[in-house]
Structure 1
Amino acid sequence: MDDDRLVLATLTHGLAQAGYEVLDADNGDDAILIARQHRPDLALLDIRMEGMSGFDVAGYLRDYLQLPFMFLSAFADEATVAKVKELGALAYLVKPLDIHQIVPAVEAAFANRPARAGAATPAAPVTVEPASSLQVVEAMALGVLMHRYSLTRAQALSRLERMAAEQKIDLGEQARRLVEAVEQLALGS
């Protein structure tokens, strides 16, 4: 859900290619309506949207629908980051981004979100840049494989397991190596 139609179309297409069902809204009011009607597993929000702000939408999703959300925004000032933490976002990514960064972040957010039923406290925001937990690294690696090879999550997991077996290393180490390789490629380009 982003106010820039080109960014929104790119995100929608990229996430759909990665195997996600995507519902999009170009303003905060529509985002609330879609969330109420469809109850998505995760909402991606921009901070500046027409109508209700991303912060307003996030507050509504948290308080009334108990839906997890993450932010994609061009703002990284201290006040914005503090508000993102206060709202309980699963992740906060600073634009400009490309879909190669967003798919692994979405995977990591899914890996770290609380279960919907009985989740009393919001999860701590996910730090996507160097991943610190094995679960997040594995989720990022799956996201990379899903996007790169147009695989489902199950197919990506199978491929990651096969890669680990071929290298005679455990799954976590293979995931870490894959994520590091992608980061090195990103630095080189």
Structure 2
Amino acid sequence: MSGKGKILVVDDDRLVLATVTHGLSRAGYEVIDADNGDDAILLAREHRPDLALLDIRMEGKSGFDVAAYLREYLGTPFMFLSAFADDDTVNQVKALGAVAYLVKPLDIAQIVPTVEAALSSVRAQPRVRPVAGERLAPQPAAMPAAAGTSVPAFAPSPAGNPLADAVPIAVGVLMHRYSLPRAEALERLQRLATADGRTLSQQATALLDAVELLARPAAG
């Protein structure tokens, strides 16, 4: 097995699946792939990957369904690959506790550094592996910050599936909203943080809080 780690890649687009799998393999990872959610869960149970890369919208079990299973039963960290960055999708990504969120179209030059950063973050945290059939405690939903306080938008799950801060998802949102490559989206987020006197993580959290606020239905 590769010393860099074992990655599960799940996407119902066979071209995307082949491209990501090939790129990660060339980068030195051991890669397991599936083109549907049911097979993904079976492979995850068998191989216990270090990280899963999940497409969101698939026939049958969605990437969200697979993520919930990985989190609750296997303690496997996951990130999402999706063509969608609407408010509802972003909020679901946050609630599930993904370690990263990449918006398609993607190239492997974007994916490999994100995978490396995600694995580094995951390995810095204590990891809980449940015994067979045991369900891990569910991750609490992120609580909105009260006025005048600063509360991280993403809380680490009891399974050791951390999202250290909101930066990866905020960058994905900026990529989608402004059609930016990842490096430029990150640079824009950094400029906003500097202008507002915040850390990068604080600025990302503020951006995602604004997304949540806009997604709320207007009071009738």
TM-score, normalization: structure 2? 0.57
Alignment partner, residue 67 of structure 2: 58
Is the Cα contact below 8 Å between 2:90 and 2:169 reproduced in 1? no
CA deviation string 1:71-106 (max 9, x = no partner): 000010111011001001000011111000000000
- Identical residues among aligned pairs (%): 67
CA deviation string 1:17-40 (max 9, x = no partner): 000000000000000000000000
More helix by share: 1
Task: Quote the Cα distance in structure 2 between the aligned partners of 1:101 and 1:57.
Answer: 23
Task: Quote the Cα distance in structure 1 between the aligned partners of 2:80 and 2:27.
Answer: 19
Is the Cα contact below 8 Å between 2:100 and 2:169 reproduced in 1? no
The Cα of 1:111 is off from its aligned counterpart by 1.5
Note if 1:123 corresponds to 2:162: yes
TM-score, normalization: structure 1? 0.65
Q: In the alignment, residue 117 of structure 1 is paired with which amino acid?
A: V
Note if 1:44 corresponds to 2:35: no
TM-aligned CA distance change 1:129 to 1:65, over 3 Å: closer
RMSD (CA atoms): 2.4
TM-aligned CA distance change 1:12 to 1:126, over 3 Å: farther
- Give aligned pairs, total: 135
CA deviation string 1:40-90 (max 9, x = no partner): 000000001232100000000000111000000001011101100100100
Task: Quote the Cα distance in structure 2 between the aligned partners of 1:129 and 1:75.
Answer: 12
Alignment partner, residue 169 of structure 1: none
Note if 1:72 corresponds to 2:81: yes
Match of 1:89 among 77, 82, 98: 98
More strand by share: 2
Unaligned segments of structure 1, at least 5 residues: 132-181
Is the Cα contact below 8 Å between 1:112 and 1:126 reproduced in 2? no
Task: Please list every run of at least 4 consecutive aligned residues from structure 1 whose deviation after the TM superposition is greater than 6 angstroms.
Answer: none
Unaligned segments of structure 2, at least 5 residues: 1-9, 130-156, 172-181, 188-220
Task: Quote the Cα distance in structure 2 between the aligned partners of 1:17 and 1:41.
Answer: 17
Task: Quote the Cα distance in structure 2 between the aligned partners of 1:130 and 1:20.
Answer: 26
TM-aligned CA distance change 1:27 to 1:129, over 3 Å: closer
TM-aligned CA distance change 1:65 to 1:129, over 3 Å: closer
Note if 1:100 corresponds to 2:139: no
